[in-house]
């Protein structure tokens, strides 16, 4: 009895406290809300609604055909002499004349510098006399030998003196000839290193002679280009002066520059009139092997995730495919590229909004001619003929009864296709 009274007193105490009473209201309301959810809820359906079909991206595409193209490599080069030789003195002497001016064209053997004769003519006369004397002594020794009055040793000594005299004569003749320093080949005198009155020792430079026919156009190509150039290939170019040149590749280097990693290339150009000068900047074009390539607009180019250059094309099922390409030349309507199939369906509009492997709705602006012909010449069924034969037995209805009324239309369509084909062929020509 006491416990019941205490419990009632406890409840009265709680009820008299405003905070306890508010908590009791909130707890009761929460229990009622939870209970209503458990009782009134229905089992959750296990069926999952099918996702709505995503509309395909619409793009515009165009067929492009491969064409025969000969790529070329452009090289920044410079003209230079075929040979650039320093002519030097072979004897010592004082310069008495410069017989060819700087910039003057000379023939092979023409005198450039002349040294003083000094006593070289006197030495030549002396050696000639020595040869005559030695010859007489040798002849006398031979006559004495025939009579048995001369030994073999004496004859050998006379022969040795004669040979020595002849050698001295030849040396004197060479020294006398070397007073005139001559051009070793036909060319142009580039510069003089001495002036009249200067003394030259043996080996001193008199001047420089250049061989400008043929003239060499020398440039350097990259590691990726050097393998496409062959010796003997024709090349053409233009000098900074406006002069046009054409020649043949005569050198493709095998060792690269350690700094630039580029390889030397030389083109030999005929220059019989010496109109082309050394040291002029030249742009040369070297054709390479012919290939099948496509012309596309630069705006169609894009990069893949790896940074590779390419274009987005469509497969037969209109699935997007990114194809890597290589730029191989310039064209007035765009650029030449390689890497595509012979007939490629390239996305021309919307390529930036689609990704590789995506199925799209494509609008082809130039479908293949065979597809156009197939659509035009496809058998057509006359709707009026179908209605007229609706009441006839199936056995009496033939294909000709349905398609014959449009035979005239097919003939007209065939004529239309022929006209289209002729128009295309004329345009291609």
Q: What is the pLDDT of residue 179?
A: 92
Rounded-to-integer distance, Cα 285 and Cα 76, Å:
9
Has residue 270 got a pLDDT over 90? yes
Pick the residue with more confidence: 151 or 179? 179
Distance CA 282, CA 243 (A): 9
The CA-atom distances, in angstroms, between 326 and each of 301, 302, 340, 354 are 11, 12, 9, 22
Q: What is the pLDDT of residues 90-145, one digit of tens each?
A: 999 999 999 999 999 999 999 999 999 888 888 888 899 998 888 888 888 888 77
- Note the Cα 28 to chain centre separation in Å: 86
**Which of 1.10.132.10, 2.10.60.10, 3.30.70.260, 2.40.30.170 is the CATH number of 211-290?**
2.40.30.170
- Give me 166's structure tokens: 């002849």
> Is pLDDT of 384 > 60?
no
Distance CA 201, CA 112 (A): 17
Residues 357 and 77 sit within 8 Å (Cβ to Cβ)? no
Neighbouring CB atoms inside 10 A of 258's CB total 6
Contact 347, 57 (CB under 8 A): no
Predicted confidence band of residue 429 (pLDDT cuts 50, 70, 90): very low
pLDDT exceeds cutoff 90 at 208: yes
**Could you tell me the two tokens for 296?**
């596309």
**For the segment 305-344, what is each residue's pLDDT rounded down to a tens digit?**
888 999 999 998 899 999 999 888 888 889 999 999 999 9
Distance (Å) of CA 399 to CA 15, 51, 151, 376, 406: 97, 44, 132, 19, 12
Q: Tell me what the pLDDT averaged over the chain comes to.
A: 81
Read off the pLDDT band of 402 (50, 70, 90).
very low
Which of 312, 245, 232 shows the shortest CA–CA distance to 62? 312
CATH of domain 292-364: 2.40.420.20
Domain 86-208 belongs to what topology? Answer: OB fold (Dihydrolipoamide Acetyltransferase, E2P) (2.40.50)
pLDDT in tens, 156-203: 888 899 899 999 999 989 989 999 999 999 999 999 999 999 999 999
Phi, psi dihedrals of residue 229, rounded to the nearest 5°? -110, 135
**What pTM, to 2 d.p., does this model score?**
0.61
Question: What is the DSSP code (8-state) at residue 304?
Answer: -
pLDDT band at 296 (very low <50, low <70, confident <90, very high): very high
Quickly tell me which residue has 């420089």 as its tokens. Answer: 208
Contact 338/325 with Cβ under 8 angstroms? yes
Residues 6 or more apart from 364 whose CB is under 8 A from it? 61, 62, 63, 345
């Amino acid at each position: 009895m006491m416990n019941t009274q205490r419990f009632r007193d406890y409840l009265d105490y709680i009820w008299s406290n405003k905070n306890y009473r508010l908590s009791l209201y909130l707890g009761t309301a929460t229990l009622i809300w939870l209970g209503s959810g458990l009782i009134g809820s229905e089992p959750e359906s296990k069926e999952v609604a099918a996702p709505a079909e995503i509309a395909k991206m619409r793009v515009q595409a165009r067929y492009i055909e491969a064409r025969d193209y000969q790529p070329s490599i452009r090289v920044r080069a410079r003209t230079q002499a075929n040979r650039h030789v320093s002519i030097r003195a072979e004897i010592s002497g004082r310069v008495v004349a410069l017989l060819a001016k700087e910039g003057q064209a000379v023939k092979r053997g023409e005198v450039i510098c002349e040294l003083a004769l000094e006593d070289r003519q006197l030495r030549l006369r002396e050696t000639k006399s020595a040869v005559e004397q030695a010859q007489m002594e040798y002849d006398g020794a031979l006559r004495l030998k025939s009579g048995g009055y001369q030994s073999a040793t004496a004859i050998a000594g006379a022969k040795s003196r004669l040979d020595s005299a002849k050698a001295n004569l030849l040396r004197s003749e060479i020294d006398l000839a070397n007073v005139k320093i001559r051009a070793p080949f036909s060319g142009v005198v580039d510069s003089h290193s001495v002036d009249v009155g200067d003394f030259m020792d043996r080996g001193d430079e008199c001047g420089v002679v250049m061989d400008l026919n043929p003239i060499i156009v020398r440039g350097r190509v990259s590691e990726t280009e050097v393998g496409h150039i062959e010796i003997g290939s024709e090349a053409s170019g233009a000098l900074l002066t406006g002069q046009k040149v054409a020649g043949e590749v005569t050198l493709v280097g095998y060792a690269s520059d350690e700094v630039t990693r580029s390889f030397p290339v030389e083109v030999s150009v005929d220059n019989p009139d010496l109109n082309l000068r050394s040291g002029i900047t030249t742009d040369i074009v070297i054709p390479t092997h012919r290939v099948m390539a496509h012309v596309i607009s630069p705006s169609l180019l894009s990069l893949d995730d790896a940074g590779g250059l390419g274009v987005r094309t469509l497969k037969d099922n209109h699935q997007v495919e990114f194809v890597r390409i290589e730029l191989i030349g310039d064209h007035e309507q765009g650029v030449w590229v390689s890497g595509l199939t012979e007939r490629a369906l390239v996305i021309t509009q919307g390529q930036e909004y689609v990704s590789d492997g995506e199925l799209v709705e494509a609008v082809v602006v130039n479908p293949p001619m065979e597809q156009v012909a197939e659509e035009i010449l496809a058998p057509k069924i006359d709707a009026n003929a179908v209605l007229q034969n609706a009441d006839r037995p199936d056995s009496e209805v033939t294909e000709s009864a349905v398609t014959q009324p449009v035979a005239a239309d097919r003939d007209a369509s065939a004529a239309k296709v022929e006209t289209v084909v002729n128009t295309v062929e004329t345009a291609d020509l």
